[in-house]
A and B are shown apart, each in its own frame.
Chain A
Amino acid sequence: MRMRSQRIRALTVKDLKRVIREPANLFMVIIFPVVLTMAFGAAFGGFGSDGGASTYTVGLVDLDASSNHGFADAFIDGIEATGILVVEEYADNASAHDDLLQGAIDAIVGLPEDFGDSVESFLLHPDDPSQWVNTTIGLAVDQGSMIVGAVVPPMIERVLSTILFGEEAMNMALPLELGAPAQVASSHLTQFDYMVPGMFAYSAIFTAMLVAQAFSTEREQGLLRRISLTPTSSSEVIMSQVVTNLILGVSQVVVVYGTSVLMGFRPQAAAPGVVFAMVIVLFLVLCNVGFGLITASLVKTSGGATGLSFLFILPQMLLGTFVPASPGLAKFVPSYYVTDALTSLFLRGAPLSSPMIMMDLLIVAVVGLVTVVVGIAVFQRYGRG
């Protein structure tokens, strides 16, 4: 029988109104993902915290070639002595920059070739600037961390003053100046950043429960029977559930993305990433509609359907979202591929055309389509009565 859009639209509107008007459904679909994202963002992200760091690693590139290298050693010791800055020495600027870009360190301090000469010139002629050897200490900080930008430059300045004047730092002209910190975009990531790709999948997997509840409740209350007193086919009823949940899936992606950005998530891919996230999450939603239909076919009560739906939800949640799990087992759940693709896209900066991302999409698409077809067949055979 041909499916009619007027029926599917009417049933979809009816189901969307249920989500909007019934607080429990609204909580599960929209409020829960927002609250979860905010909670994890606050606990593990860069929003309102330092992401868990209590020390900052400074990459030190010592190019001082002067005869008075003892000043450079004292400067480095002074940085270490702060207790907050940890020094990691580099032979050259390039390797230090690489590590800053990868988020391995928080800042770079570059001592110039004439650092020792400059310090010595000041100590010999503190009142005669014409004798000073003027030079600049290079400084670069991770632009994504407001705290690093605020903490590191003043501390380096303080160490430098101590070298020159001892503990009694003075505010006066100096031959040495600290360069303006270069803002370097690094891939320094918080735990929250690593969690966000899994949150897209996490929200979608609860579709299995929503679908199982919707069908079992309507069956319990005689609503499926009431609908079947009209010329509406079961395919139209199921299609309306698919459309409803795809709409909700898109809404969840937007909500999770928006909330996670507000909480400090810094994705490598913004607009294309969100569009891709919607596409791959929609296939995961499709897959979970299938799981929901299978669940509603196996148990006849809404309470039972809720419980049994966790048979599908828990493995996806524990193996395929943001919970660290054995990759071997994780490959058996579709949510793993969603999380993997979004991690590559958002965190590793992989292009959309990346073979790994395309393979993840293909796997989720095939599993989603097969599962929903199986779900429809099982429900039409066992679930309607």
Chain B
Amino acid sequence: MKKMERTGSPAITVSNLVKRFEDVTAVDGLSFEVEAGEIFGLLGPNGAGKSTTINVLCGLLEPTSGDAVVLGYDVVSEATHIKERIGVCPQEPAFYSHLTGRENIDLIADLHLIPREEGRRRTDALIDLVGLGEASSRRVGKYSGGMIRRTSLAMALVNEPELAFLDEPTVGMDPQSRRATWDLIRSLQGRGSTVILTTHYIEEAEALADRVGIIDRGRLIALDTPGSLMREHGAGNLEEVFIELTGRRIREEV
């Protein structure tokens, strides 16, 4: 695992982050910190601003105002340094359908300038880890939704990122694959990586996240450990916490 070049600081620091698209405010004054080595869950309905927040933190979108520092680098002026150190599993997996699963993973390894031998070794290991097996030699265009999601996860992890953004990583997976992915995420944390996890699945956030930030309409409305949030709101699960805070269910808006 690569060492963080700027140690002793949080993995992510977000201060009064705002992102507007013309007259729509997707992210509205967000502030939070994520500690290094933490699994941080971002919970909220579709359109809450989770993916926009991640896109800003990855350096894909420039914030309208506010600051964000990732792994010690400013998201606007030092985005390339951030991209060298992160892995992203996007909500909508993007892959080259004319390439095999293995070739897609190898491509991302090459783009991260991982030496070819080392890249191929990591690809082999990830293919085993996500359970692609023999299918890795078939073109991705013929994959099922779950296999595509697992390939996307392997693509995100091939550079052994210090910080992994996993945007709905288990959507479309069968229960067995989902459990395997949970184990993989825990193993990332075990190796020292920080993980930002967005999910619609309440049980996923409860099972994996050290802390959860609940976002609604671009605002952070709660931030704590799952247990503390449930205790504070007298709720049996995070869904009830969300209802308590907003009067709506998360899944209804999915």
Contact = CB atoms under 8 A, between A and B. Distances in A.
Contact of B60 (A228, A231, A232, A233): A228
B108 interface: yes
Interface stretch (A9-17, A127-135, A190-198, A249-257): A9-17
Contact of B98 (A4, A7, A18, A232): A18
Contacts of B111: 7, 10-11, 227, 230-232
Interface string A231-251: 111000000000000000000
Contacts of A6: 110, 113, 116
A229 B107 contact: no
B107 A10 contact: yes
19 contacts: A7-B111, A7-B113, A11-B111, A17-B98, A17-B103, A18-B98, A22-B98, A223-B95, A223-B96, A225-B90, A228-B60, A229-B58, A229-B88, A230-B83, A230-B111, A230-B112, A231-B83, A231-B113, A232-B111
B125 interface: no
Interface string B73-96: 000000010011010101010111
> Which bucket holds chain B's interface residue count?
20 to 34
Contacts of B92: 222
Given A10-B111, A231-B111, 11 more contacts: A10-B110, A17-B98, A22-B98, A225-B94, A228-B60, A229-B90, A230-B83, A230-B111, A231-B80, A232-B111, A233-B80
Most buried by A among B84, B92, B96, B99: B96
B58 A4 contact: no
Contacts of A223: 94-96
A339 to B, nearest CB: 33
Interface in A1-58: 1, 4, 6-7, 9-11, 14, 17-18, 21-22
Interface string A40-81: 000000000000000000000000000000000000000000
A10 B120 CA distance: 13
Nearest 8 CB-CB pairs, A to B? A10-B110, A222-B94, A226-B94, A230-B111, A231-B83, A229-B88, A21-B98, A231-B84
A207 B58 CA distance: 33
B210 to A, nearest CB: 24
A229 B83 contact: yes
A221 interface: yes
Most buried by B among A1, A14, A223, A229: A229
Interface string A206-232: 000000000000000111011111111
Nearest to B86: A229
A151 to B, nearest CB: 53
A229 B95 CA distance: 13
A226 B90 contact: yes
A53 to B, nearest CB: 48
B100 to A, nearest CB: 10
Contacts of A11: 107, 111
Contacts of B112: 230-231
B11 to A, nearest CB: 17
A227 B110 CA distance: 11
Interface in A114-165: none
Contacts of A9: 110
Contacts of B86: 229
Contacts of A222: 90, 92, 94
Contacts of B113: 4, 6-7, 231
Interface in B90-132: 90, 92, 94-96, 98-99, 103, 106-108, 110-113, 116
Contacts of B95: 223, 226
A5 to B, nearest CB: 10
B96 A14 contact: yes
A380 to B, nearest CB: 15
A228 B60 CA distance: 7
A228 to B, nearest CB: 6
Contacts of B90: 222, 225-226, 229
A1 B80 contact: yes
Contacts of B58: 229
A229 B110 CA distance: 13
Contacts of A229: 58, 60, 83, 86, 88, 90
A98 B94 CA distance: 66
Contacts of B110: 6-7, 9-10
